[in-house]
């Protein structure tokens, strides 16, 4: 099975611009989660999509948004970029499922390294 | 206080040594994950466990739900084990894949 893929791998943007990152999950996985990793804050959960619906959301401003398509591919968008948005953005896919209060093993992509100047 | 705390933050070992990394958490969880991150960013899931003990090759993970504590052990460590090891928990009250992470333990294994 092919792994989780993320595009682009590297990106340089200017303050005020917007950016869209893409994540293709492992075939058959319906859940896609997004995470931000910075040296200061470590890894932080952004949001999770399952069957095209946002199922969980972290504590990030509304400038961070996402969506999921019918083929489970997901995109995240950051509008009005700030210097502090420079980070490694990781997505992870899992089987997901409809079980209550369950956590599923996650498979991470290689990440997109975003630099905001 | 962070919901997930790891110790030590940094660990240097000689090849062949037995290594232990600890993780304590303060919330109810559905499962605990141990992740490995190599330079360059790629993250690999090592274990997901909600009770007892799991073993994979030279890696062993244990969890004590009552004490809210987990350990990751590496037997016969090797320089290729050098990486950041991250503990993460899935909160008990949440469905799906929301994880809260520890700060990570930087492991360096010298030949």
Over residues B37-62, the mean pLDDT reads 92
- Say what the pLDDT of residue A98 is: 60
N-term to C-term CA, chain B: 36
Q: Is the peptide bond before A107 cis (omega within 30 degrees of 0)?
A: no
Beta-carbon separation of A33 and B93 below 8 A: no
pLDDT the model gives residue B54: 95
Nearest to A94 among B30, B97, B102 (CB): B97
Q: How far apart are CA B38 and CA B60, in angstroms?
A: 19
- pLDDT category of residue B95 using cuts at 50, 70 and 90: low
| Interface test with chain B among A100, A101, A105, by most B beta carbons within 10 Å | A101
Query: Residue A2 has what pLDDT?
Result: 79
The answer to whether B8 and B59 have CB atoms below 8 angstroms apart is: no
User: Is residue B76 over pLDDT 60?
Assistant: yes
Is A105 in CB contact (< 8 Å) with chain B?
yes
What pairing do the DSSP bridges indicate for beta strands B52-56 and B105-110?
unpaired
For residue B71 the two structure tokens come to: 């350990």
pLDDT, position A34: 96
Q: What is the pLDDT of residue A12?
A: 98
Residues in CB range of B96: below 8 A, 6 or more apart = A31, A33, A48, A50, A55, A56, A96, A102, A103, A104
Which percentage of chain A shows pLDDT scores above 90?
77
Mean pLDDT, chain B, rounded, equals 92
For residue B84, the chain A residue with the least C-alpha distance is A42
- Per-chain mean pLDDT for chain A: 92
pLDDT tens-digit readout, B7-17:
999 999 999 99
Q: What is the reported pLDDT for B96?
A: 64
- The encoded tokens of residue A10 equal 């590297």
> In which band, very low, low, confident or very high, does the pLDDT at B2 lie, cut at 50, 70 and 90?
confident
Q: Which residues of chain A have pLDDT under 70?
A: 1, 97-103
pLDDT of residue B93: 63
Q: Which residues of A39-64 are buried (b: 16+ CB within 10 A; e: fewer)?
A: eeebbbbbbbbbeeeebbebebeeeb
pLDDT computed for residue A6 by the predictor: 97
Which of B30, B35, B56, B97 is the best substitution to test chain A (most A C-beta atoms within 10 A)?
B97
């Amino acid at each position: 099975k092919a792994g989780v893929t993320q595009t682009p791998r590297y990106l340089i943007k200017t303050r005020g611009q917007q950016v869209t990152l893409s994540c293709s999950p492992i075939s058959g996985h319906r859940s896609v989660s997004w995470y931000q990793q910075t040296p200061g804050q470590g890894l932080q959960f952004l949001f999770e999509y399952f069957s095209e619906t946002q199922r969980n959301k972290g504590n990030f401003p509304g400038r961070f948004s996402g969506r999921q398509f019918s083929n489970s591919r997901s995109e995240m968008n950051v509008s009005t970029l700030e210097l502090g948005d420079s980070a490694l953005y990781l997505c992870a896919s899992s089987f997901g499922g409809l079980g209550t209060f369950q956590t599923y093993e996650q498979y991470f992509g290689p990440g997109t390294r975003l630099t905001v100047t | 206080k962070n919901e997930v705390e790891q110790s030590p933050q940094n660990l240097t070992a000689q090849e062949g040594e037995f290594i232990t990394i600890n993780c304590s958490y303060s919330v109810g969880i559905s499962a605990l994950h141990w992740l490995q991150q190599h330079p360059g960013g790629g993250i690999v899931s090592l274990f997901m466990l909600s009770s007892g003990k799991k073993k994979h090759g030279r890696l062993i993970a244990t969890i004590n739900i009552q004490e809210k504590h987990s350990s990751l052990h590496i037997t016969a460590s090797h320089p290729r084990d050098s990486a950041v090891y991250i503990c993460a928990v899935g909160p008990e009250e949440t469905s799906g894949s929301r994880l809260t992470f520890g700060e990570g333990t930087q492991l360096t294994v010298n030949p």
